Chains A and B, each alone.
Chain A
Amino acid sequence: ETGVTQSPTHLIKTRGQQVTLRCSSQSGHNTVSWYQQALGQGPQFIFQYYREEENGRGNFPPRFSGLQFPNYSSELNVNALELDDSALYLCASSLATSGGETQYFGPGTRLLVL
């Protein structure tokens, strides 16, 4: 167990809807990164939050957005859901110091878009 929690564990939505996924980081960690993992693929970086600011973004459209709260927990919001958004969404927490820190993953949220 990494101490990183995510909710919900599973979610079914229809195309065009909006979804919010939540993540609580490991105690003492101040950085949260979000990844999307499609079936048979490695995780793909969506974005990272450090001290409530976005600190890097992968190749995802603006309909993917996020927040980090003062307690370092985080949300991932996806608007106008598309069928290809069906994936495992992973949150990883780390303690940012000088870069290259180890990231610890939560159990993930499996999203199915119909």
Chain B
Amino acid sequence: QKEVEQNSGPLSVPEGAIASLNCTYSDRGSQSFFWYRQYSGKSPELIMSIYSNGDKEDGRFTAQLNKASQYVSLLIRDSQPSDSATYLCAVNSGYSTLTFGKGTMLLVSP
């Protein structure tokens, strides 16, 4: 059973702080990793994809991947109240099949 684990939160950070979201996965054969943001009542929206070990930066977002530790993280710098949402970690372990974690709720207070 392929599993993706996330802390459900909520993770509370003040505006302007760095939010750190973490995810572990069970399938060592996983090749592609994604972070989606989901606002309440809406569908998931892609934030980042990462395929290789190391860091990948896109604006205020940085994804980090460590395949040896089976660990993926997402850092959000200068957090804004509009970043308050549930963040879903997704792992591709088969041909275009995504396995999702339950998501971490992030609350950014003004």
Query: Which A residues fall within an 8 A CB radius of B?
Result: 2, 31, 33, 35, 40-45, 48, 50, 55-56, 58, 88, 90, 92, 94, 96, 99-108
Q: Is the CB of B100 within 8 A of A56?
A: no
Count how many pairs of residues, one from A and one from B, have CB atoms less than 8 Å apart in the complex. Answer: 72
Q: Which residue of A lies closest to B105 (CB)?
A: A40
Which A residues touch B34, using CB under 8 A?
Answer: 102-103
Q: Is the CB of A100 within 8 A of B99?
A: no
In this complex, the interface size class of chain B, counting residues with CB under 8 Å from chain A, is 20 to 34
Q: Is B63 an interface residue (CB 8 A)?
A: no
Which B residues touch A40, using CB under 8 A?
Answer: 102
Q: Is the CB of A45 within 8 A of B95?
A: no
The smallest beta-carbon distance between A48 and chain B, in angstroms, is 6
